[in-house]
A and B are shown apart, each in its own frame.
Chain A
Amino acid sequence: MPKNKVVSLDEAMGKLRDGLTVLIPGFVNCGVPETLIKGIIEKGYTDLSVISNNTSIKGRGIGMLVHENRIKHITCSHIGNNTETVEKVVAGEINVTFVPQGTLCERVRAGGAGIGGILTPTGLGTPIAEGKPVIEVDGKKYLLEKPLHGDVALIHAWKADKMGNLVYRRTARNFNQIFATAADLVIVEAEQIVEVGELDPDVIHTPGCLVDMIVQI
């Protein structure tokens, strides 16, 4: 494992291309990797498939990708906080697949943990269940939901050491911790970058082995 993964925003963004499936964490606009999103916009990448919980708010975070028409498909649980996303979905400019928020967590966790799917009671008997196998375990019914995986995950950390061990702050942790496990390439933006050894091993949320590149915000 490299001892220093810190790179420039330009170098990190140079690894991406059009059409990728991108995991982008955040809850509304908290914990969203906005510096990396701006990097995508500057590089001009488009036709992205985004997996996220929601699309931030109009003009911020993932909302910037919406505004610039860079997203062809989004898998998420909610878009109601961003009126522009709603307008573009209604107009057919963005395709959306809604996934219940807890199921989204578990599907991405499965994608990062080598699990072939998860069984959840969430969504039984609702439109979400259409076409999905229902599996009975000890008399209880569950939906089989498949793993989700990305080409790249963009992560927002509070503190990163140079090897990529990460600590998130308060509710900005949200989907960051899970999304960092489930992509081929994991790029982190960090508010603070510290020397290896400065973070207490017991408080690290994401092990550095998952991280490929770190960009200073």
Chain B
Amino acid sequence: MEKRELIAYRTARFFEDGDLVNLGIGMPTMCMNYLPEGVDIWIESENGVIGLTGAPKEGEEGDPNVVDASGGMSMMRTGGCCFDSFTSFGLIRGGHVAATVLGAYEVDQEGNLANWTVPGKTVAGMGGAMDLVSGAKKVLIMMEHCDKHGNPKILKRCTLPLTAVNEVDYIITELCVLERTAEGLVLKELAPGVTVEEVVSKTAADLIIPQKIGCMV
């Protein structure tokens, strides 16, 4: 598997049948392609809808009034429903969403997340990310282990402005799965062919290395 596919494949295995899940724009939406058999999840999109299924396919007629969190047209499945933004964020903040999946610029060993701004470089705004991370039952960060220059993104302490404090539960990368616990970041699983030493060398946070480490696939 290509590394983004591996990350999506593993992340999709965190979901349970029937879960209400919010998938961030970009790589998180790839999870839908890797759901295990027997696991059917419902997509909550923060613009006020449950039950989105993706862009109209050839031959399907979309409705410009049905869009996803990136503003692109999407289809809806039977049983889905629409509501206002206030209800949407009530679902998110109120703990009614089982999992939120987002990318990150940086994550640290205390479960702090930075994914909304790089001062002097980006001025996009946080959108719904701060609410999603504060409110969802499980916060899954899926990202490439290092930045494009090869620098670690998993740190002792985030350096960028934070999105949320102590909220990250799992980090899924092309190298490993890390779980954030009260004691720190635990190396739960390795990708095939990846060694503990490689993960440690590419991670700037302290890692707890258990006796038994699982495999991501």
Chain A residues in the interface with B (C-beta under 8 A): 27-31, 53-54, 57, 76-81, 86, 89-90, 96, 98, 100-103, 105-106, 109, 120-128, 158, 168-178, 205
Contact = CB atoms under 8 A, between A and B. Distances in A.
A167 B208 CA distance: 54
B85 A126 contact: no
Interface string B117-153: 0000001111111110011000000000000000000
Interface residues of B, number: 39
A126 B93 contact: no
Contact of A127 (B63, B127, B135, B161): B161
Contact of B124 (A78, A127, A172, A176): A78
B85 A53 contact: yes
A101 B131 contact: yes
A27 B74 CA distance: 14
Interface of B: 45-49, 63-67, 70-71, 76, 82-86, 88-89, 92-93, 112, 123-131, 134-135, 161-165
Nearest to B112: A125
B49 A170 contact: yes
B71 A174 contact: no
Contacts of B48: 27, 171, 173-174
Contacts of A81: 70-71
A174 B84 contact: yes
Contacts of A101: 46, 85, 89, 126-128, 131
Nearest to B127: A78
Q: Which 3 A-B pairs have the closest CB atoms?
A: A28-B71, A80-B124, A102-B89
A27 B123 contact: no
8 contacts: A30-B67, A77-B125, A77-B128, A100-B130, A100-B131, A170-B49, A170-B66, A171-B47
